[in-house]
Amino acid sequence: MTSNPEPDKDFPWWLVIVTVTGLWLFYEVWASDMYFAALGTLAKGAWITVGVTLVAYFGACLLGLGLALAGLSRSVILRIAVSVGSLVCDPAAGGAALH
C-alpha cells in the first residue's frame, strides 16, 4: 500500500469528531448534579458486576480443575462421576457426549 500523495486526506477527522463529542458529553454529565448522581449509582453497579464476574470466573476455574483432576484419577468412582457429568453437560453445551 502506497502513501497518499495528499496527506490531508489521510487525517482521521472522524476520530476528532468522536473525541470532541465524547469530551462534550463528559462535561455535560460532570456539570449536572442529576447526571453525576446517576453516574455514581451506575459506577457502584459496575463494580458489583465486576466482582461477581471475577468470583464466578475463579469458581469455574477451580471447579474445572477439580473435575479435570477427577477425570485423571485412578479412582473408578470419580471417573464414572465425571463421565456421567459429561453425558449431562456436553449435549447442552453442543459438544460431543462421549470422549
Q: Cα(61)–Cα(45) distance, rounded to whole angstroms?
A: 24
How far from 28 is each of 31, 42, 43, CA to CA, in Å? 5, 16, 17
- Model confidence at 92: pLDDT above 90: no
- Model confidence at 97: pLDDT above 60: no
Give the predicted TM-score (pTM) of the model.
0.56
Report residue 32 as a C-alpha cell.
449536572
Which of 90, 91, 85, 92 is closest to 63 using CA atoms? 85
Q: Cα(5)–Cα(54) distance, rounded to whole angstroms?
A: 50
Angle, vertex CA 25, rays to CA 21 and CA 29, nearest 5 = 170
Highest mean pLDDT among 3-7, 53-57, 93-97: 53-57
